[in-house]
C-alpha cells in the first residue's frame, strides 16, 4: 500500500492493518522528512488517545493529516504506534 499526498509517496508498506476502513502503516514505513508532530490529540473510546502529524510536501502543508496511537487499549494492540491518514491523503495499492 502507498499513502500519497501532493503527488508524493509519503508512506509505503506491504504490512498495513485495516480498521474502520483506515490502513494503519508501520511507523517505519512513513517518510519522516514529510512529517512533523502536531499538538492535536483525540480520544477513541476503544483505541485510546491519538497523536497527530502534519504533512508537508513541496512547501504545501496538510495539517493533522496523519494519526497514530502511541499507547492503546488491549483491544487495539494490533495498531499500536501505526500511522493512518485522512484529509485528502490517498491510500492505494
Model pLDDT, residue 36: 98
Model pLDDT, residue 9: 98
All three cell numbers of 81, joined, read 504506534
pLDDT tens by residue, 12-51: 999 999 999 999 999 999 999 999 999 999 999 999 999 9
Distance CA 10, CA 89 (A): 9
What are the b/e assignments for 25-48, b being 16+ CB within 10 Å?
A: beeebbeeebbeebeeeeeeeebb
Distance CA 31, CA 66 (A): 12
Report residue 5's pLDDT band, with 50, 70 and 90 as the boundaries.
Answer: very high
Q: pTM here?
A: 0.95
Model pLDDT, residue 54: 98
All three cell numbers of 8, joined, read 508524493
Bridge pairing between strands 35-44 and 48-57 = antiparallel
* Percentage with pLDDT > 90 across the chain: 96
Distance CA 12, CA 42 (A): 25
Model pLDDT, residue 39: 97
Closest CA to 30 of 62, 3, 60: 3
Amino acid at each position: 500500500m502507498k499513502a500519497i499526498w501532493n503527488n508524493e509517496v509519503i508512506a509505503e508498506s506491504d504490512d498495513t492493518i485495516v480498521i474502520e476502513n483506515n490502513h494503519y502503516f508501520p511507523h517505519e514505513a512513513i517518510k519522516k522528512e514529510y512529517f512533523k508532530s502536531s499538538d492535536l490529540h483525540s480520544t477513541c473510546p476503544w483505541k485510546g488517545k491519538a497523536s497527530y502529524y502534519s504533512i508537508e510536501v513541496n512547501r504545501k502543508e496538510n495539517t493533522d493529516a496523519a494519526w497514530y496511537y502511541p499507547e492503546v487499549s488491549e483491544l487495539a494492540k494490533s495498531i499500536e504506534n501505526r500511522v493512518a491518514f485522512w484529509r485528502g491523503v490517498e491510500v492505494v495499492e
